[in-house]
Structure 1
Amino acid sequence: MRSTLTDIAREAGVSSATVDRVLNNRSGVKERTREVVIETAKRLGYLAGSDLTPVSPQNRIRLDFVLPAGTNTFIANLLAQIERQAARQHDLDVHIHSIEGFNPDTLARTLHDLQGKTLGVGVIALDHPTVREAMRSLAASGVSIVTLASDILHVPRIGYIGIDNRAAGRLAGYLLGRFLGGGVRHKVALFAGSLSYRGHEEREMGFRHILGEDFPNLEIVELREIRDDRERAYEEAVSLLKRHPDLSGIYNIGAGNQGIGQALIESNRAGQIIFIGHELTDHNKAFLLDGTLDAVIDQNPRVEAREALAMLSRTIRGLPMDYHPPRLQVIFRENIPES
């Protein structure tokens, strides 16, 4: 069965209208986007020139991705996208390592063990001295490194693939402030996976800054680290709701929305407390539809996987790279996109 424009749009992470403009050679499309659409159309067999020349094992590029294990659905979706897209690129030999993500020593050992085995590494990493040193050592051995979803500064990585997390935190604070309104004082609470992730720390920073600037009537009463675990999120949320019967809002910086949502539903406070979270997973879609979640700030794992694979492989081959970052997008119940 021949692929359709919709198939190409879904795989390329763009709209069907953009695919139509590219395939009909119309203006108004960035060059990098045009390249992605053409490559996707060829890979799916929509355009001629999609026959793959066999690649010998010695010419394949080995890439390794080190991702945290656990119940984080976004990470699971990102992992699936990396595997799916890598399987279609016969010049790549991709290995994925799922490790205990909140243990910096485990992460550092994994990175050290990759020396001499790989040409490129993508990693979601804690910002910790042992991890930074492992990344420096890996880069010094000639390995190209990209950080995913959460950046680490002052290490020799070739790039960061992800959204502006400080802007995401500000956006969450703006949404919560607008939902709750001015004048009346409101209590709000924060949940985070771990502030050892720079991305989570940056989201908290952005959230606090915009509240101080524009919404001084919102008081942050608690911040709980839940290690992106839904059971821990549930337990902490149940405890939070008991301690603060007058709580007005929740911002979950990381994963664990399923546990928080369950606690809100069981306490009959879903829809009464404004709840802002991240990532458009299947569970979050359901919470948007029933009113448990008011808004989701989304980053597209399909785009992040595509850009990570492209940045690593093109850098290793000495080809120019035009980074096409994932967009920061707010999803409400009324604009949930098609799967």
Structure 2
Amino acid sequence: MRSTLADIAREAGVSSATVDRVLNNRSGVKERTRDIVIDTARRLGYLDTPVGAANGGGRVQLDFILPAGTNTFIANLQQQIELQASGRPDLDVRIHSVEGFNPDTLAAKLHELHGRTMGVGVIALDHPTVREAMRSLAAYGVPIVTLASDILHVPRLGYIGIDNRAAGRLGGYLLGRLLGQGGRRKIALFAGSLSYRGHEEREMGFRHVIAEEFPHLEVVELREIRDDRTRALNEARALLQRHPDLSGIYNIGAGNSGIGEALVESGMAHKVIFVGHELTDYSKHLLLNGTLDAVIDQNPRVEAREALSMLSRSVRGEPIEYHPPRLQVIFRENIPED
């Protein structure tokens, strides 16, 4: 016979109204009281227990929420999570694709996982509805890790990814050094969306190093392309028409293939210094033909490994070991083997 709200209230030493507020994620309850109510509800069988030890040491259910779309890095990350999870019989991993730039859709998916998961990995927009959804899920004892782009001031287990501000500074330094001196030069930025903290941090780092060390470079435009190849192609075409004397491009996010196509068709592929992120099949091709000059890479294999390890260890109450991915600059001459 299933326990009732009154049973939980009696065991937790609180009112039924307080139990109702906690279980329906409403405000007005102290965190300590919320923890007591949730623990009591689990103990009485009212809530599913997201703890591996209480599950008889069985498989750990993990869920990953990734943005849908044409971002090749995200596709490679998903592939690595699936591949590595397939070799872990102790894990049961589900991957959910959601509209990448819609915070309400992402928040709804996080709420949907209440009572159905033991740990969550997410590439998340930094938005109030998303932060609240993460807090609500964490209040149920579910460990959460952010991937590739972090969110601060939420009860996450950890962030798995590169230092994006440092990556932006590195992008600016590469572009400045490759362009060299020679009077005022125009450069432009492309970003997926500055709603991702990671992209915002890269822009910040880039602008700072340009201002500090390469003041002769002028950022003439910043275009958000939603990590979409077609949008990147159209925006790059328009940019090159407006600025035929453009000297450099730094692409903060995805869409290198679209920008590269615009550079090639305009005849400016070997005139514009182009620095981007993530080593994919597309960016390899652009490096080899000289359209893309340098790629700042973060290894999706490492990020998948660390996410699976951190979440599963947390669920089982084991010590967490974290080995963060490192920034790597790749040119045509040092493209790694697959």
* Residue of structure 2 equivalent to 1:164: 163
Which residue of structure 2 lines up, in the alignment, with residue 124 of structure 1? 123
In the TM superposition, 1:70-85 aligns within 5 A as 70-85=69-84
Q: Is 1:321 paired with 2:320?
A: yes
Aligned-partner Cα distance in 2 for 1:327–1:276: 18
Q: Quick one: which amino acid aligns to residue 211 of structure 2?
A: G
Summarize deviations over 1:20-73 as a string: whole Å, max 9, x none.
xxxxxxxxxxxxxxxxxxxxxxxxxxxxxxxxxxxx997110000000000000
In the alignment, residue 64 of structure 1 is paired with which amino acid?
D
| Inter-partner Cα distance in structure 2 for 1:154 and 1:225 | 26
Q: Do structure 1's residue 112 and structure 2's residue 108 form an aligned pair?
A: no
One-letter amino acid matched to 2:75: A
The Cα of 1:271 is off from its aligned counterpart by 1.4
Equivalent position amino acid for 1:286 in 2: H
Q: What one-letter code is carried by the residue in structure 1 that aligns with 2:218?
A: E
For residue 272 of structure 1, what is the aligned residue in structure 2? 271
Amino acid at match of 2:252: I
SS at match of 2:222: strand
Q: Give the AA of the match of 2:192.
A: G
CA distance in 1, matches of 2:77, 2:248: 28
1:59 counterpart SS class: coil
Closer, same or farther: CA 236–328 of 1 in aligned 2, 3 Å: same
Please tell me the root mean square deviation across aligned C-alpha atoms, in Å.
Answer: 1.0
Q: Compute the displacement of 1:110 (Å).
A: 0.3
- CA distance in 1 between partners of 2:184 and 2:172 (Å): 15
> Quick one: distance in 2 between partners of 1:165 and 1:271?
28
Quote the Cα distance in structure 1 between the aligned partners of 2:56 and 2:330. Answer: 43
CA distance in 1, matches of 2:291, 2:234: 17
Displacement after TM superposition at 1:321 (Å): 1.3
| Alpha-carbon separation, structure 1, partners of 2:301 and 2:234 | 31
> How many angstroms apart in 2 are the aligned matches of 1:183 and 1:155?
46
- 2:283 alignment partner, SS class: helix
Task: Report how far residue 182 of structure 1 moved.
Answer: 2.3
Note the residue ranges of structure 1 that are not aligned, 5 or more in a row. Answer: 1-55
Q: Does 1:150 align with 2:139?
A: no
Give a deviation string over 1:256-278, Cα, whole Å, max 9, x none: 00100000000011011000000
Give the match for residue 242 of structure 1: 241
Distance 1:167 1:281 in 2: 21
Q: 1:169 is aligned with what amino acid?
A: G
**Structure with max Cα Rg:** 2
Q: Number of aligned pairs?
A: 284
Q: Please, which runs of 5 or more residues in structure 2 have no aligned partner?
A: 1-54
- Distance in structure 2 (CA, Å) of the matches to 1:158 and 1:58: 21
After TM superposition, the structure 1 = structure 2 runs for residues 153-192 of structure 1, keeping only pairs within 5 Å, are: 153-192=152-191
Q: Structure 2 CA distance, aligned partners of 1:322 and 1:109?
A: 31
The 1-side partners of 2:94 and 2:57 are apart by: 16
Q: Deviations over 1:267-314 (max 9, x none)?
A: 011011000000000010010000000000000000000000000000
Give the whole-Å Cα distance in 2 for the aligned partners of 1:326 and 1:216.
31
- Cα deviation 1:66-101 (Å, max 9, x = unaligned): 000000000000000000000110010000001101
- Report the AA paired with residue 261 of structure 1: G
- SS of match in other structure, 2:198: helix
Residue 151 of structure 1 aligns to which amino acid in structure 2? D
Q: What is the distance in 1 between the residues matched to 2:98 and 2:132?
A: 18
**Length-normalised TM-score, structure 2:** 0.83
Distance in 1 (alpha carbons) for counterparts of 2:105 and 2:188:
31
Q: Distance in 1 between matches of 2:204 and 2:321?
A: 29
Amino acid at match of 2:337: E
Equivalent position of 2:257 in the other structure: 258
SS at match of 1:97: strand
SS class of match (1:321) = coil
Which residue number corresponds to residue 40 of structure 2? none
Q: Which residue is 2:223 aligned to?
A: 224
Letter in 2 for 1:120: G
For 2:56 and 2:316, locate their aligned partners in 1 and report how far apart those are by CA, in whole Å.
Answer: 16
